[in-house]
Chain A
Amino acid sequence: MAALSELRSSRSGPPAVNPPHETGGGPDDALVRAAQQGDRSAFGLLYARYSRMVHGILLARVPFSDVDDLVHDVFLQALPHLASLREVSRFPGWLASIARNCATDFHRRVKPNDEFDEESASAQDEKPALSTRHSSHSSAEAHAVLDAIRSLPDAYREPLILRLVEGMTGPEIAARTGLTHGSVRVNLHRGMLQLREILGRKASPPTGGVL
């Protein structure tokens, strides 16, 4: 009922028809409350709205072939703990933290003593999973670009992956991750500058390059 009241109070006038990313925190807060009360469909809606964000955060850290399973793990981990989330408006950041922790756990589990080997992960796991639309050359380019993004600082690689891979706009990234528009905008911009620099360096050898 609390969730219902929240919706009621947020709809005092005719509803503004906005894309999900522009609807602000209200509707998501209400969904989180409903999910906290055991509403599975509300949790399903939260999954629909946040799975791309979780996917992007994981893709920034773990091999592509493991990301889908880990996205499920993140939501299944979040589900039983959701009731303990006191401030529902913190759900986006809370979920993002679970995703980051899940990626950390993955590395502990998979290679307890070694550093994550991005290249071998790309070579062994990711290439077969890509569609046949891309030639092997462009697939290699895609992996090179992904690796370049993953080499960026955390603050830059997440928004860049959410923007370039998951197709989210800056406002969507801000809404989904709980960050401010300003932070996302600056991180996207600076991350893109660094990415261009890295890809430019790779492109500069005489053998040709990524871009």
Chain B
Amino acid sequence: MTTNQTDPEKEKMMNENYLWDASGVPDPEIQRLESLLADFHHAGRPLVLPAEMPSAPGKFRGLLLQMPWLPRLAAAAAILLALGITLFFSLRPMHAPDSGPAWDVANLQGAPQIGTKVIAADQTQAKLRVGQTITTNGDSRASLSQADLGEIRIEPNSRVRLVQTDPNRKRIQLDVGTIHAAIWAPPGTFVVDTPSAVAIDLGCTYTLQIAPDGSGTIRTTLGWVGFHLNGRDSFIPAGAMCSTRPKIGPGTPYFEDVSESFRDALFIFDVTEQSTDAGSKQLNTILSQARPRDGLTLWHLLSRTTGLERAQVYARFATLVPPPPGVTRSGILDLDQSMLDLWWNSLGLGDISVWRFWEQSASPQPSPNSQQLLQKKQSLLKQAP
């Protein structure tokens, strides 16, 4: 499937940027087709895997049944024997158990330290145990790794403490500095505490920076990350970023390719009290400049606005990303969680049931989510004199 460079058809094609990557001047005909066909798109139904991994439909089973009984018996016995041997070798311990929960540490540059001990450049057996802190100065870098978790690279001027290494929960604390995390563990296993939010890995690679004042920024490269503090949640998919501030918590996430004015307006909106003139002005800027891709931001704004502002956000969001079947305006304005979840899933940025599962597993009792918390706060405010 190649074309001739002089092909005039190709020259014309090169002008059809909107058809190619939705950039350039929108083609009204294509936009109309997109709108007409929107109802047919994938609704993001979550994948339900069987409790046990299915085995490949084997041709051998049919073959076995077609055999006469004696060879069949012999074949079945051979299969059982092979299974037994496989189980024996797969279940026996491959290594001596670790002497304690510790993560491997490697010196990537300079003289990183565990406590007061410098990790030598050629040291291969350095370990970080629960309660210990690893620090890097201005010209040192280190990496933390664990086979069933992933790898965390620690950049200069950082301080990281290992907090927890339970099988189902690995936790570090990033006081200051920058880490790059590439995580293999199941979503929700790896958690990073920071002074202004908790970052929950949902299957991804990301960069987390924390400034000396406790404020921070997260940038996701693959998958998505949940940012959480006191019932305020932000979801940051690949290509997006989100700030967090002490006492406020996670800001509203946005894709990195938004305009500067969109970014500035969102920054001010996040730190401005709700339903003020200043906030409304910024909200107008955000809504007017939002693209379909910025449904990420608008979805979060639904639960961070009230009254008329929420209705404005709904209207713009619905224009850019039509609500999927089962999602109604009144339901969204009431912050119906199931409808918000459906709409989020329709964005194709991640299956929110993963997050809901983490919420349930993170606390022994079901904890109210951010929307419900906000509703509670609102009702308390109404009752207040």
Contacts and interface: CB of A to CB of B under 8 A. Distances in A.
Ranked nearest first, the 10 interchain pairs of A and B with the lowest CB-CB distance are A55-B42, A19-B239, A183-B1, A189-B13, A80-B56, A169-B21, A41-B186, A170-B20, A47-B47, A15-B221
Interface string B21-47: 110000001101110111111111101
A15 B49 CA distance: 31
B29 A80 contact: no
A45 interface: yes
Given A20-B239, A34-B184, A40-B49, 9 more contacts: A4-B145, A11-B205, A15-B219, A17-B219, A72-B45, A76-B49, A133-B39, A171-B21, A189-B19
Nearest to A45: B203
Contact of A142 (B40, B42, B220): B40
Nearest to B350: A48
Interface string B144-164: 010100110100000000000
Interface residues of B, number: 69
Contacts of B292: 167
A182 B205 CA distance: 29
Interface string B294-327: 0000000000000000000000000000101100
B2 interface: yes
Q: Of A145, A167, A196, which is in contact with the most chain B CB atoms at under 10 Å from its CB? A: A167
Contact of A27 (B12, B219, B222): B222
Contact of B48 (A72, A80, A166, A185): A72
B169 interface: no
A192 B17 CA distance: 13
A66 interface: no
Nearest to B322: A133
B60 to A, nearest CB: 14
Contacts of A47: 47
Nearest to A1: B147
A185 B41 contact: no
Given A17-B221, A39-B184, A44-B354, A71 B54 contact: no
The secondary structure that dominates the A interface is: helix
Interface of A: 1, 3-4, 7-8, 11, 14-20, 23, 27, 34, 38-45, 47-48, 51-52, 55-56, 59, 64, 68, 71-72, 75-76, 79-81, 84, 130-134, 138-139, 141-142, 145-146, 155, 163-167, 169-171, 179-180, 182-183, 185-190, 192, 196, 211
A42 B13 contact: no
B195 interface: no
Contact of A211 (B32, B184, B187, B255): B32
B1 A11 contact: no
Given A20-B222, A23-B238, A166 B42 contact: yes
Contacts of B256: 17
Contact of A186 (B10, B37, B40): B10
Nearest to A195: B33
Contacts of A141: 36
Interface string B204-219: 0111000000000001
Interface string B188-210: 00000000000000010111000
B223 interface: yes
